[in-house]
Amino acid sequence: MRRRNTPPLFKLLLFVVLFLLIVLLGFGLFSPERQAKRTVEKFYSQEQEGNFSESWELLHPFLKEKFPKAVFIQDRTHVFMGHFGANTFSYTISGGDKIKAWRMEKGRRAFKEGFRFQVTQSYQGKYGKFNFQQDVVVTKEKGQWLILWDYNQ
d(CA 24, CA 50): 36
Q: Percentage of the chain with pLDDT > 70?
A: 86
* Per-residue confidence band for 134, with pLDDT thresholds at 50, 70 and 90: very high
Give the model's confidence band at 19: pLDDT under 50 very low, under 70 low, under 90 confident, else very high.
Answer: low
Helix axes 32-48, 8-30, angle to 10 degrees: 50
CATH placement of domain 11-149: 3.10.450.100
Burial class (CB within 10 angstroms; exposed 0-12, middle 13-18, buried 19+) of 49? exposed
Residues in the chain: 153
- Decide if pLDDT at 25 tops 60: no
What is the layout of strands, in order, in the sheet containing 128-141? 89-102, 111-125, 128-141, 144-149
Give the pLDDT confidence score for residue 86 in this predicted structure. Answer: 84
List the chain domain ranges.
Answer: 11-149
Q: What is the mean pLDDT of residues 40-65?
A: 96
Mean local confidence (pLDDT), 143-149: 97
> What DSSP state is assigned to residue 81?
I
Above 80 in pLDDT, residue 20? no
Q: Give the mean pLDDT of the chain.
A: 88
Q: How many helices (H) and strands (E) does the chain have?
A: 5, 4
Residue 129 pairs with which residues in a beta bridge? 124
Torsions phi, psi for 119 (to 5 deg):
-110, 130
- pLDDT digits over 71-118, tens only? 999 998 888 778 888 888 999 999 999 999 999 999 999 999 999 999
